[in-house]
Structure 1
Amino acid sequence: MTARTPSDAPSDTPSATPPDGPRAAPPGAPEDVRELRRFNRFYTNLIGALDYGRHLYTPFTLTEARVLYEVAHQSRVDAADLRASLSLDAGYLSRLLGRFEDRELITRGRSEQDPRRQRITLTEGGREAAGLLEERSQDAAGSLLRPLPAADRARLVDAMRTIRVLLGEDGPQPGEGARRPPGDRAPELSLRTSGPGDLGWMVERNAALYAAEYGFDLSYEALVARIVAEYAEDFDPRWDRTWIAELGGERVGAVMCVRDGRPGVARLRLLLVEPAARGHGAGRRLVDTCVEFAREAGYGEMVLWTNSVLGAARALYQRAGFELVSESPHHSFGQDLIGQDWRRTL
């Protein structure tokens, strides 16, 4: 994230008294707003975003370096694409590209697809400059990560992925459509079976999401951890499977198929879809894949247990052919809930 306005300067920066006398201090910002601005100030200082001179000891500003990166990493790019994807003023971008052209870093010509658009192409000198920037960017990022232990690096990477997903890069915000530049393709949804680290991620994300959305307490995290541990200890690939949904290459959902204990009965467990991925069909794909695996494995029936407050999940189960067979009130995870048993014949 980048600093956007001078108002993100530290609050103790001296300023002149307005001519009409001192103004009343604005009301205090919410804590989450203050924390976001604090992070912006920290990160822009960390990467040198406020230094409008040379970037990474090259003759380019941060904006120029980003434009070179975009041109170098796309097979075809037009000026209009750069303007939209980087939110740059048209006049400013035109002057920047003019400077690149004067330095023989790019050439500009008409797009083959649309003669009204301007195609940008790197010259040999431009490719060398972009390569130098890429090398130094990799070194700079590596120098930040190198001192961290492996566990802390993993935590940091997960946190950065979360920031990108929640603030809109990898999908729509809850209740909204995706906000993408014109011509930008929707991120691809894919499913894969679980690998190292995925089960731990499932415990962490289940605990965090259910606490945030339903107020579940620590006992829910303990339950999920037990389920995951039992799965890992008793795993039999003939009967058990976990799938991870990815959107644009990032983990956004999961589900398990496990033996229920009764002959011929499978159990669907721990369905999870991240808020930013809802609306992309991840939940439907996960449930359908789980049911299909159980059928092909030779199970005759699939069951699941959920709670009535999980309306979106219940709608997925109904669509997949599950039927509600019983429900009863209970107090669990710090909440008064109504538990539900669902089943379907395979």
Structure 2
Amino acid sequence: MAVNPADIAQVRAFNRFYTKVIGLLDEGMHKSPHSLTEARVIYELGKRGRATSSTIAEELDMDRGQMSRLVLRLVDQGIVAVLPRDRDRRATPLALTPEGDALFRHFNEMSDAAAANGLLEPLDELGRRDLVDAMRRIESLLAEPGDEPLILRPHRIGEIGWLIHRQGLLYHLEQGWNGEFETLITRIYAEYEAALALPPKGLWIAEQDGQVAGSVFIIPAAEEAPGTAQLRMLYTEPAFRGRGIGKRLVEEAVRFSRASGYKRIILWTQDCLVSARRIYQGAGFALVREDKHHSFGADLNGQYWALEL
């Protein structure tokens, strides 16, 4: 898919702006004689305690030859020490000297101060939260999946509106659905909020790396026989797909429904939502009926699924 030239220009403009803000154009890192690359190597050694040159090169995506030259320079400056080899005679472990450790702590303190004074202190609480959330978002989009555990939790203030916004936008971009869908899900979430505590209802936010990764909710099925729950609004953020999050959410919704005394769970979906249908089938749902309809600006095939508990 072709990339919008305006998007390219925005990315480059942001890179120039952020480079200036955090001082990467300065000659030395935090007014020291050391470059940003040298500071990163010092940081990695300080964080790990000891590591081989190849391990740090891989972590920083550096050329091995460049890494070797940099390490030799830091050794000559008395910042890095070469340790006796372990069992693997091919790998030479490295560690910071006392002087290097002092420099590592200095860099840490200066970096903390730069983040606080240059980025966070000028903003109010809402601005700080927006900035940190945006940084987390960039990292979740560009980085490899982290090893942070997946958390399923209740929703917080502001997240219902955010879920409506995200799902309205995602289904528009991915399925071409129009504003009718956003209007529908606004009403669906309002019905959840307005529903009484009994029969039981539950909404789960999947959170990973501090980001909302997906959600789903269970509500009593108003037009069905007593003891019937309805599973609604399952979705997973694109940056978090492929990690089994949708499956976890449906499993939790089924577990909750069973523990709450429901006898049956129903849901409505569209046959074009292939990944969601696979999750429902894997959880034991069976297709009850299908109805073709024109909604959200598209010709769709609605499917009704049910799970007997």
The verdict on a shared fold, with TM-score over 0.5 as the criterion, is yes
Structure 2: state its 5+ residue gaps: none
Show the 5 A alignment for 1:135-150. Answer: 135-142=109-116, 143-150=118-125
The answer on 1:42 being equivalent to 2:2 is no
> CA 1:124 to 1:256, structure 2 compared with 1: closer, same or farther past 3 Å?
farther
Aligned to 1:292: 255
The answer on 1:96 being equivalent to 2:59 is no
Once residues 272 and 161 of structure 2 are traced to their aligned partners in structure 1, the CA distance between those partners, rounded to angstroms, is: 25
1:258 to 219, 242, 251: 219
Aligned to 1:337: 300
2:150 to 187, 190, 194: 190
Once residues 237 and 130 of structure 1 are traced to their aligned partners in structure 2, the CA distance between those partners, rounded to angstroms, is: 57
Pairwise CA distance, 1:196: 2.3
Pairwise CA distance, 1:42: 2.3
Q: Between Structure 1 and Structure 2, how many residues are aligned?
A: 303
2:246 to 272, 283, 291: 283
The answer on 1:64 being equivalent to 2:45 is no
Pairwise CA distance, 1:275: 2.0
CA RMSD of superposed structures (Å): 2.7
Pairwise CA distance, 1:310: 0.7
1:225 to 183, 186, 194: 186
Once residues 42 and 246 of structure 2 are traced to their aligned partners in structure 1, the CA distance between those partners, rounded to angstroms, is: 38
Once residues 245 and 170 of structure 1 are traced to their aligned partners in structure 2, the CA distance between those partners, rounded to angstroms, is: 18
The answer on 1:30 being equivalent to 2:2 is no
Amino acid at match of 1:250: Q
Secondary structure of 1:162 counterpart: helix
Once residues 288 and 55 of structure 1 are traced to their aligned partners in structure 2, the CA distance between those partners, rounded to angstroms, is: 49
Amino acid at match of 2:183: A
Greater shift, 258-267 or 293-302, is seen at 258-267
The answer on 1:154 being equivalent to 2:129 is yes
> CA 1:126 to 1:288, structure 2 compared with 1: closer, same or farther past 3 Å?
same
Amino acid at match of 1:193: R
Amino acid at match of 1:319: G
Amino acid at match of 1:255: V
> CA 1:134 to 1:200, structure 2 compared with 1: closer, same or farther past 3 Å?
farther
> Comparing both structures, which one devotes a greater share of its residues to helix?
2
1:82 to 40, 45, 56: 56
The answer on 1:118 being equivalent to 2:59 is no
Aligned to 2:284: 321
Pairwise CA distance, 1:125: 2.8
Once residues 289 and 82 of structure 1 are traced to their aligned partners in structure 2, the CA distance between those partners, rounded to angstroms, is: 40
Q: Is the 8 A contact 2:153 2:207 kept in 1?
A: no
Secondary structure of 1:341 counterpart: strand
Aligned to 2:200: 239
Once residues 249 and 12 of structure 2 are traced to their aligned partners in structure 1, the CA distance between those partners, rounded to angstroms, is: 37
What TM-score results when the alignment is normalised by the length of structure 2? 0.86
Greater shift, 256-265 or 84-93, is seen at 256-265
Amino acid at match of 2:230: R
Structure 1: state its 5+ residue gaps: 1-27, 172-185
What TM-score results when the alignment is normalised by the length of structure 1? 0.77
> CA 1:296 to 1:95, structure 2 compared with 1: closer, same or farther past 3 Å?
same
Aligned to 1:9: none
Pairwise CA distance, 1:213: 0.8
Per-residue CA deviations over 1:197-217 (Å, capped at 9, x if unaligned) read 543442332123212211223
> CA 1:71 to 1:221, structure 2 compared with 1: closer, same or farther past 3 Å?
farther
Aligned to 1:212: 173
Greater shift, 71-80 or 229-238, is seen at 229-238
Show the 5 A alignment for 1:297-312. Answer: 297-312=260-275
